[in-house]
Amino acid sequence: MQITVLSGKGGTGKTTVSTNLALSLPNVQFFDADVEEPNSYLFIKPDFADKSKSVLRKIPEVDQEKCTSCRACVDFCEYNALAMLGDEVLVYPEVCHSCGGCKHICPEGAITEKDKEAGEINWDLEVTEELEYWQGKMKIGEESSVPIIEELKEEIKPEKNVVMDAPPGTTCPTIEAAIDSDYCILVTEPTPFGLHDLKMAVEVVEELGKPYGIIINRAEEGENEIIEDYAAENNIDILLKIPFQRQIAELYSDGIPFVEELPEWKEKFQEVFADIQAVVE
């Protein structure tokens, strides 16, 4: 079972939901796929200093001896990672998306590929008996986080309860994180902006055809209607409301997952999980 936690934009409580959910369940494999800014480690506190590996991707290399400056590769690359300047093909590794196309298009066989480090993966197989932790981190200067998320997903163990913290937004990296999941949790806040971003996230999961539900973070009586009305109109489940409470906010800023201090919340997350299981099965 894989659950992906998403939000239309950052800062809505995606990490709060995913880390607290992970800490409430048995047999969990947690993935921080928010690889541009992974921060779940602040709450889960894994020990992964010596457990890391590089994620490599292929970038083209042009043999200038063989190259006839025909420009076929430059015209082909839709990401503008190649340019013909001063009679030589110039490769811009940060812009290249490693699609491999230019190598095939070159009529002279002048293009080969070499490895470039795109990022890094860290893990801790035993944060607790019930929790295994994985994190991807993109290298600064890289343009696409997708190769790292792809590599992270290779580590998924199907027999585990997988909780994945997806990158915020609605573009390729978020889709990459959600595409193989069994269920998506959309995290939002009861504000007009929250609703706006929620609608964008709903479009993504509808497109992917995944079952999904909403968790309202910073929930407040009198404010929640904006999300509740939308959910009712569109027949979307609201799985949980995490109240706007001083204690929860303080625990967050101290890096303490609130389920650790408020055990009754563990039960609530377990109920959420049971609801999700019922939907998926």
> Rule CB under 8 A: which residues touch other proteins?
74, 79-86, 88, 90, 92, 94-95, 97, 141, 143
- In angstroms, what is the minimal distance from the CB of 80 to other proteins? 3
Single out the residue of 52, 54, 69, 112 in contact with ligand SF4 (rule: CB under 6 A): 69
Task: Rule CB under 6 A: say whether 146 interacts with ligand SF4.
Answer: no
Helix ranges (DSSP H) in 14-171: 14-24, 41-44, 72-76, 101-105, 146-153
What tokens does 125 get? Answer: 């197989």
What tokens does 65 get? Answer: 């001896």
| Partner interacting with residue 10 (select from other proteins, ligand SF4, none; CB below 5-8 Å by kind) | none
| Partner interacting with residue 143 (select from ligand SF4, other proteins, none; CB below 5-8 Å by kind) | other proteins
Give which of 160, 142, 161, 122 is closest to 41, Cα–Cα.
122
Single out the residue of 3, 22, 23, 73 in contact with ligand SF4 (rule: CB under 6 A): 73
Task: Rule CB under 6 A: say whether 190 interacts with ligand SF4.
Answer: no
Instruction: Quickly tell me which residue has 């009679």 as its tokens.
Output: 87
Interacting stretch for ligand SF4, rule CB under 6 A, among 6-14, 29-37, 63-71, 194-202?
63-71
Single out the residue of 1, 17, 23, 111 in contact with ligand SF4 (rule: CB under 6 A): 111
Instruction: Quickly tell me which residue has 């994180």 as its tokens.
Output: 177
Distance, CA of 100 to chain centre:
24
Q: Which amino acid is residue 54, in one-letter code?
A: S
Interacting stretch for ligand SF4, rule CB under 6 A, among 44-52, 93-101, 168-176, 188-196?
93-101
- List the beta bridge partners of residue 131: 28, 128
x-marked contacts with ligand SF4 along 9-28 as a string, rule CB under 6 A: --------------------
Phi-psi region of 276 (alpha: psi -120 to 50; beta: other; left: phi over 0): alpha
224 SS3 class: coil
| Partner interacting with residue 214 (select from other proteins, ligand SF4, none; CB below 5-8 Å by kind) | none
- In angstroms, what is the minimal distance from the CB of 67 to ligand SF4? 3
Single out the residue of 9, 36, 42, 70 in contact with ligand SF4 (rule: CB under 6 A): 70
116 or 153, CB closer to other proteins? 116
Task: Rule CB under 6 A: say whether 108 interacts with ligand SF4.
Answer: yes
What is each CA distance from 158 to 98, 130, 161, 182, 189, in whole angstroms? 28, 15, 8, 11, 31
- List the beta bridge partners of residue 54: 120
- In angstroms, what is the minimal distance from the CB of 74 to other proteins? 7
Task: Rule CB under 6 A: say whether 279 interacts with ligand SF4.
Answer: no
- List the beta bridge partners of residue 246: none
What is each CA distance from 240 to 44, 66, 212, 268, 272, in whole angstroms? 21, 62, 13, 8, 7
Helix axes 192-208, 225-233, angle to 10 degrees: 30
- List the beta bridge partners of residue 89: 84
Task: Rule CB under 6 A: say whether 98 interacts with ligand SF4.
Answer: yes
Question: Which residues here bind ligand SF4, judged by CB under 6 A?
Answer: 60, 62, 67-73, 76-77, 79, 81-82, 89, 96-102, 106, 108, 110-111
